[in-house]
A and B are shown apart, each in its own frame.
Chain A
Amino acid sequence: MQLSIPFSPDQASSYSGRVDALFAFLCVLTILFGAVITLVIIYFAIKYRRRKEDEIPRGVEGSMRLELFWTIGPFLIAMGIFLWGSSLYFTMYRPPDEALEIYIVAKQWMWKFQHLDGQREINELHVPVGRKVKITMTTEDVIHSFFVPAFRIKMDVVPGKYSKVWFEPTKPGRYHLFCAEYCGTGHSRMIGWIDVMEASEYQAWLAGGAAEGSLASSGEKLFQQLACNTCHRSDAQGRGPVLEGLFGKAVQLSDGSTVIADENYIRESILNSQAKIVAGFQKPSIMPTFQGLISEEQVLQLVAYIKSIGTKQPTEGGAAKPQPPTTQQ
């Protein structure tokens, strides 16, 4: 639904029109209720104004029918808004499976972006128009919040875990990026831009950026440097589980429960190996914890690497390449 209302920022994402539509509906509702009640009050106030100082009117009993009417009526309207709002919420917060992936590490007071291909940006993000973009975010210090008014999207970035957000830009342009969660002195300077480019321009931009190898390949290097590969080998001969094909699968844990191996799980496995132990492995995991030894960015690289080998393709970063925009979900 496309609907443009004054005082709204650009509509530049696939769902910004839908947000505006609900917003417009609520505005109409507010004006309606506001106007009707105000007019009634003014009418009564004039009609029944006090004419004599000691006048006392005859009382009016309450009315059960009216009470029910104005309890149930607003309730139904409210439930309508609730349903509308939540369906939108689901759309906006449920990440699509197929998307261009971007990683963010936020810190006081900057946004650090990492593209899968290895390009890094600070406070400015380039994305192609018409592609779904999925962002995985974490922070090195306090809570921040990723806010792009033109996309109508916002999500907090919380220390100690990954949060995710997605959008599909529909209009090329340059849009504000704000930090919306108060984070200290530089909070209002923690702003940046999202550059939405035509697909061809974007390709050119990608090619122009001097990348030091894709994110996954940096992760792979790290995987060797940190000697992860001594235990995690693709031939199932290591002391740890095989990580190929892990991502997105259900993992059976030693306490009998299962978890889906998503980014947060992999992050936790690396930083706090004792927290969740894979079924069939020794209870105090022999895997050391890497908490405090590697930076958030390095964790991200490792996660990206493990993700890239998750789709059982040859490890050489094939899966990590951005898909062409034609890919259907």
Chain B
Amino acid sequence: MATHAGLAHHFDDVEQQREAGTLGMWAFLVTEVMFFGGLFMAYILYRWKYPSEFAVASNSLNVTMGFINTLVLICSSLTMALAVYFSQIGNRRLITVFLLLTMVLGTTFLVIKGFEYHEKYVEHHVPVRFPTYEFKWEPHVSDHAGAHEATSLAVDTGRVEMFFWLYFAMTGVHALHMIIGLGILTTLVIMTRRGRFTPEYHSPVELSGLYWHFVDIVWIFLFPLLYLIGAHLHR
């Protein structure tokens, strides 16, 4: 049993430590599923109750940005997976490269998200009731005249607001996870530079990878549920 720099005193060997780390991370991800689960529960309930409002509200989101962001996140998952791969085979330079790439992609995602939020802010689609700023919803009659003009009108403002409330809650919590993820990646880059990872000991990279992929999975669900349910209203 080789003692290793990364081995904490209370573990018998690296293998036990790795196993504990992986299990711990998965248990943590289970709690994350339940955390987002509360939001999804609310989404499912109101989506079921108010389908047309949700479709119409969703229709006003910027699908292109959402789509690009989906691709960006998938790319970042790929680069993260590769970073893990290089940590497994012990290529320190490429670990750094791919970690940095992942961070760049993650930041891109957040910047695009920021633009989207700004757009919503300008359109008065942020669901709050402050003296200085209030949610407003004007049915865009003129925007998409035609077959579906009717549907776009048949909505109750309150329920549209509900959609945006959920939109901001879900994407906001997701973005928060991205920001935390970027923090973790920064630490990893520093640790890599200091030569902490070897083919025998690289759990931190691997575990952070799990976290990053999980955040990606959340988005994989958010994208169709938030952006696409009204896409068919345009032609």
Contact = CB atoms under 8 A, between A and B. Distances in A.
Interface of A: 272, 274-275, 277, 282-285, 289, 291
Contact of B151 (A283, A285, A291): A283
A275 B158 CA distance: 11
A289 B156 contact: yes
B154 interface: yes
B153 interface: yes
B154 A272 contact: no
Contacts of A285: 154
A283 B156 contact: no
Of B50, B154, B158, the most chain A CB neighbours within 10 A belong to B154
B156 A274 contact: yes
14 contacts: A272-B156, A274-B154, A274-B156, A275-B156, A277-B154, A282-B150, A283-B150, A284-B150, A284-B151, A284-B154, A284-B155, A285-B154, A289-B156, A291-B158
Interface residues of B, number: 8
A274 B155 contact: yes
A277 B154 CA distance: 9
Nearest to A292: B158
A289 B53 CA distance: 15
B140 to A, nearest CB: 13
Interface in B41-84: 50
Interface of B: 50, 150-151, 153-156, 158
A50 B91 CA distance: 67
Contacts of B153: 283-284
A275 B151 CA distance: 12
Contacts of A289: 156
Given A272-B156, A275-B156, 14 more contacts: A274-B155, A274-B156, A275-B50, A282-B150, A283-B150, A283-B151, A283-B153, A283-B154, A284-B150, A284-B151, A284-B153, A284-B155, A285-B154, A291-B158
B121 to A, nearest CB: 25
A107 B140 CA distance: 38
Nearest to A254: B154
B13 to A, nearest CB: 37
A275 B155 CA distance: 8
Contacts of A277: 154
Contacts of B154: 274, 277, 283-285
B55 to A, nearest CB: 12
A112 B200 CA distance: 74
Contacts of A282: 150
Contacts of B158: 291
A282 B50 CA distance: 18
A289 B155 CA distance: 11
Nearest to B151: A283
Contacts of A283: 150-151, 153-154
B120 to A, nearest CB: 23
B139 to A, nearest CB: 8
A274 B157 CA distance: 10
Contacts of B156: 272, 274-275, 289
A240 to B, nearest CB: 16
A292 B155 CA distance: 17
B15 to A, nearest CB: 36
A81 to B, nearest CB: 31
Contacts of A272: 156
A285 B153 CA distance: 9
A69 B156 CA distance: 58
Nearest to A271: B156
Nearest to B150: A283
4 tightest A-B contacts by CB? A284-B153, A284-B154, A283-B150, A274-B156
A284 B148 CA distance: 11
A274 B154 CA distance: 6
Contacts of B155: 274, 284
